[in-house]
Chain A
Amino acid sequence: MDLTYTDEEEEFRAGLRRWLATALPALPPPPDPHDWPGRRAYDTAWQRMLYDAGYAGLHWPADAGGRGATPTQHLIFLEETELAGAPYVGANFVGLLHAGPTLAAEGTPEQRARWLPPILRGDEIWCQGFSEPDAGSDLAALRTRAVRDGDDYVVTGSKIWTSHAEVADWCELLVRTDPDAPRHRGITWLAMPMDAPGVTVRPLRTLAGSTEFAEVFLDGVRIPAAHRVGAENDGWRVTMVTLSFERGTAFVGEVVACRRVLGAVARTARDNGRWDDAVLRRRLGRLAAEFTALWRLTQWNVGAAQRGGGVPGTGASVFKLRYSHARQELYDAAAEVLGAGALDADHAWVAARLSSLSYTIAAGTSQIQRNIVAERILGLPKGR
């Protein structure tokens, strides 16, 4: 058990810090959170800076245009960019973390050459068309239909919870190509251009008042069969392959940020008198232990990834269950410190408190995660 970074890792960190010190002051001011085209421009400009500096696709394999960095280097990258206050991955999220790795693993040479470089350069943005109104936790129930017609698929149906749909160029789309096959065997993965005729995007307003995601309606959308990744009806496996890219690093930046926020919450409490409340102090003290442990759990998972080439998705489930709950606890405590200010829509902690509510739902609800842990790690029987 070694928590010391090697000379090579420290060198990587030092080089990154030097670059961040020069790169970040050159950034324009961040856009208004409601200005989606502005956010896209900002996020992609940052991605371009990373690309020019050689940090784009750090965790991607070298033959996909990435740096092939180790999980530990990836951890360092995410930690340092967060500490330096660098922009988040933002609109580049799906391209860099899901669609891109899927294409890298399963795409043909032509598909990789067409789609991977623009993701790394920040030229193109991807969104995800997986969930449907009747296919949420039960994703394999998806019904959006694709029918082969000559060299095209003709797609009809609707998708939901699609982040960045309004500003995306491409959508990684799961469609049903064989309605008669067993559920997981009739699904196909397609790359859909978002400007194709028949695509309608209707933004959804979240409880935070923002339009983080959208519904996407597909009415006879023609998608060339050449945009299919993997074999027809093999889309479920193609999608799950990306999970093997899991390195336990999904929430590195956020855990670093939560530890910083917790310190700020404590200092605010000291300054506004709420620190005199032992119940609050003890709550904050427990959160300090919690986030320290979550950081160590991240390093533990990265250690497993480094040893074995990947974290089983199950280790990620353990982390997500604990972290999503801790994040909600943190911002509930922050709200208690704010008192009457806890409803101030302009306060960053209040906005974060609202968005934290999605953490136990998005990317697999806590209930689904517990099923995964119970069945795949603990070996309990499947049931309902």
Chain B
Amino acid sequence: MKKILSLTLVFTLILAMSVGCSSGNAPSQAGSDGSAHESSPAGSAESSAEPGEKVVLDMLWFADGAETEAMQHIIDDYQALNPNVQINLLEVPYDEMTNKIMMSVVGGEPPALARTTESILSACYDATLDLAEYVDDIDGVLAQFMPSIHNYFVINDKVTALPTDVTANGMIYNKTAFDKAGVTVPATPDDIWTWDEFVTALEKVKADGGVQFGMVIDNPSHRWSTMLYQFGGHFLGEDGPAFNSPETIQALTFTKELFDKEIVPKSTWLGGEDPNNMFRSGQVAVHLSGNWMLTNYRDNIKDFEWGVTYMPKAKNRSSTPGGKQLAAFGGSGVEKEAVDFILYATSQEANAKYCVESLFLSPRLDNAKLDYPFGKEHFEVFANELEHTVPDASFDWGYPDFAGVARTPQNEGMYEMIAGNITPEDHAANMEKVLEELYQ
């Protein structure tokens, strides 16, 4: 038993050493201890052991697919141009991004850079740099990006980030099922369906196309809001919440009917069945999702043909834009370099390369037409949806804290409504109350 005792000792020593070492021997990693923190971005860190030490930028990153590699290529290009800079991609699960950013910032270990979405930014915009303070011609830079998405990163007049891609909600359809049922999809924006026509078409595909369901919609919040905007409703207005409107109630009632007629399966929103998997299984005619789904379906659907078509209209045509941005954080000690990289990564050439490789839509006006290696015709449909998007969409989703505050009550309220426990009017009124708190 002396063995155990001596083992204890040995391990205590090892542990003590590993603690000791790690706090002292990390000269190449800025921000790993207090001293490297204060070091100036010019690379004159006092702890620098080797000459010509690199400036290291940590970038918190999350990914759905191919974009990690694409971003790594952009980083490689940038590092070739700036040999004194090293950028580390630190992958974090999307669900933990906001937490990780918050913890690092509050704990005094802010990352140099982070990939964000509008909902991450709406929680962390306090901690980001104001890019206007680092870029002379900020208005000129902003003017390069689609005006409709400025709301997502210019928050309370602060330029918190710059966009790397923009997403469009849209519809992917099971071509095999549509063909089998003899239903054609609109070929041009001029002959798109109304929602009533669309439902008729879905019913036909459901009956004759060999599918169980007409349609799946990703979620009752962001993705469903596309329908809300098409029906002329919206969540917020300049002066306060605007959810409790006849347009909203019409959209809600229409949605409920889709579920009641079993065009949309209840199991998706209520039972957690994954719409993506359901579409993949070939049991659904249409998936209301967005352009990010293309790579997933390209890689995983082999049993049937699919395509992208225009969403139907009611009062309006509309999509709901989204997207990702790059933000930099104060206190990292490498703010200048971080901002410089953001400008590089969002510049025309680099951004085009990134978007083509990741199969993303570019937020830059001068990258509207890109030469995608796959699904060029799909991207044209998505781009067209974005062009016909109501301004309310980005106003809602760019509003600080909106995404976080609205999600849970919206999801739960929609459930109650579809389950028949409350009426669309009840839900509209309940949500209105939730949104009122947001304005206070």
Is chain B found bound to chain A in the same assembly?
no
Q: Which B residues form the contact surface with A (CB < 8 A)?
A: none
Write the residues of chain A forming the contact surface with B, with a CB cutoff of 8 angstroms.
Answer: none
